[in-house]
Chains A and B, each alone.
Chain A
């Protein structure tokens, strides 16, 4: 399978490096801003990106991402609009691997074979679906595989070894490790217990790279997260930064200025977080 996300994640292992995967909510601030943000994330050194499809009922998200989805939907964001934005990003030369992160319904109600064909045509590289455990994964895996797209499943601190192994087996690109129980954006402390869990998951996942998310906000968090994980995911904190920059401009200023401020804030923040990717300077234990 030739796929940007798969290749990028695999390359981290080959090079013995760590990576950063920022999450943004598509359409928060409008899809024109989303397009600029994708370029900014790529320039800032992101390994890949999670592009959130806004949903009316996000049961695994905390208040920050709920409100981002509300804003995106109020701005008229649709799945077709997101596909068009990704296609445009590719036309403009964007190479950043993109995983669409969406609850089942906004994509699945169309039927997975159709969604996968559309995603592939747009230049999407994979799917992350927070309300999809491995039990329900088969139809999506089949359609994704037929279109050379990655499917990324989850491991949580509550998951049994059997479940983690099944999720790793069903995943392509990487396995998404939930750093702690809870909704998005509630803070993580990478205490020794969390490190033990990540080390354990890494062992169970074998050759499959693992990414850890939930509560990463500072370069120090990135460093701690990537002690055992290949990729650190930053979501809520980045979405918060972007929104703050986008809305802090004077109300009288041009929309372009607000967008420029948001793009700059996103780039600066991701660059700062990437300084936490210190793992390559020491060897693996």
Chain B
């Protein structure tokens, strides 16, 4: 029986009984291995010699000069496979291997978690099946090919909205049918112990960032900013500054095309608490408790629920949650590309967008943005938007 599964009132373990034995086994293994020096040494070694940690902290000089703030970028886009997701995928796959699992299931939205899991499985010699919504498989096509090149099988999900939510539904169904497999959930959500475990595998982001900014800028940031889909990159950054009361924390959700129902994924602005995919948290739902469709130009933020730890941080007032629209994110993508020579993922562009939208209020402040991924996967989206604009 599992105990202590919550962040305040949020979280929990709302899973079908068939999965409970697997969740209990996972929780026990994780409790044991997180304190196991040998396991941690193996993980650290992989992160350093394979994944490319530590990732650098870069001062965005031209944007900083232009707006009168000091903007630092934590470069998770430079991690192997191009996003922070590999921290968690390596951690969970190593853990799965440790407890004798040979088969890995995963879902993916933008494809970054799928690619990271396929990578970890190739490196560690595990079988890998990735579930991906048909809409996402189309808009993030290069990532489908990358997963397949590394030996993963990609199952395209045609049910529902055919995005991340439906990929998680299908991955959970696959796990219910094959509880001997390990399900590598890709964000800090789902039933306990996933939200805690995933956050812990990403804590390295915030720990590195804190040490780096103290060294490079001689002080803590005033504000730490990250985009929030499920919220794994954000919780990774935030955990590094949780004890620093002076550091304000801002999570940026997908405002999509605006606050009309179905047009966005801003859970804290348009949702209310409920249960989806195993945890009690803020969700976009209609008056009858049905999950609402979402929209975002970025597949990784296009999801109706937020990780439960964020729900608790918001309730406590330790972090606040804002949103950036598609257009604002695309503008930020262009700014970072043209002025800093960095093509950011459309997800991470939302965090930069919030900074640019609030530039006046942020003048004189030291800011750290988690640049959670690189934008190569989004080039097809960017080019088709550019062509559409040119033809209109």
Contacts and interface: CB of A to CB of B under 8 A. Distances in A.
Interface of A: 55-63, 66, 73, 78-80, 103-110, 130-136, 153-160, 162-163, 166-167, 178, 181-183, 186
Contacts of A78: 288
Interface string B1-25: 1110100000011111111111010
B125 interface: no
Contact of A105 (B18, B165, B276): B276
B17 A156 contact: yes
Interface stretch (B141-149, B170-178, B311-319): B170-178
Contact of B17 (A62, A108, A163): A163
Contact of B274 (A109, A130, A153, A159): A109
13 contacts: A56-B290, A59-B172, A105-B276, A105-B290, A109-B273, A133-B15, A154-B18, A155-B17, A156-B17, A156-B21, A158-B21, A158-B179, A181-B176
B275 A133 contact: no
Given A109-B272, A156-B18, A158-B18, A73 B289 contact: no
B1 A136 contact: no
B169 interface: yes
Contacts of A130: 16
A163 to B, nearest CB: 6
Contacts of A134: 1
Contact of A135 (B13, B160, B273): B13
Given A59-B172, A78-B288, A182 B16 contact: no
Contacts of B19: 158
Contacts, number: 126
Contacts of A63: 159
B140 interface: no
Given A60-B176, A105-B285, A131 B22 contact: no
Nearest to B283: A105
Nearest to A102: B289
A78 B288 CA distance: 6
A211 to B, nearest CB: 14
Given A158-B22, A163-B1, A178-B18, A133 B289 contact: no
Nearest to A129: B14
B291 interface: yes
B16 A106 contact: no
A154 to B, nearest CB: 4
Given A158-B18, A178-B17, A182-B177, A107 B172 contact: no
Contacts of A105: 274-276, 283, 285, 289-291
A181 B24 CA distance: 16
Contacts of A109: 272-275, 285, 289
B interface bracket (residues with beta carbon within 8 Å of A): 35 or more
Contact of B176 (A59, A104, A135, A162): A59
Nearest to A160: B21
Which of B14, B166, B169 has the largest number of chain A CB atoms within 10 A? Answer: B14
Interface of B: 1-3, 5, 12-22, 24, 159-160, 165-166, 169, 172-173, 176-179, 272-278, 283, 285, 288-291
Contacts of B177: 181-183, 186
A61 B17 CA distance: 13
Nearest to A77: B288
Contacts of A59: 16, 169, 172-173, 176, 277
A134 B3 CA distance: 11
Given A57-B160, A59-B173, A108 B289 contact: yes
Contacts of A166: 1
Given A59-B173, A109-B272, A133 B288 contact: no
Contacts of A159: 17, 20-21
B275 A131 contact: yes
A190 to B, nearest CB: 18
Nearest to A155: B17
A104 to B, nearest CB: 4
Contacts of B274: 104-105, 108-109
B21 A135 contact: no
8 closest residue pairs by CB, A with B: A154-B17, A106-B289, A158-B21, A104-B275, A109-B289, A182-B177, A156-B18, A59-B172
A83 to B, nearest CB: 12
Which of B2, B16, B283, B291 has the largest number of chain A CB atoms within 10 A? Answer: B16
Given A105-B275, A135-B1, A158-B20, A57 B165 contact: yes
A259 B277 CA distance: 35
B189 to A, nearest CB: 13
Given A57-B160, A133-B20, A135-B1, 18 more contacts: A63-B159, A105-B285, A105-B289, A108-B274, A109-B275, A131-B275, A154-B16, A154-B18, A156-B20, A157-B18, A158-B20, A159-B20, A166-B1, A167-B17, A181-B177, A182-B176, A182-B177, A183-B177
A154 B275 CA distance: 18
Contacts of B16: 59-60, 130-131, 133, 154, 156
Contacts of B277: 57, 59
Contacts of A66: 159
A56 B24 CA distance: 27
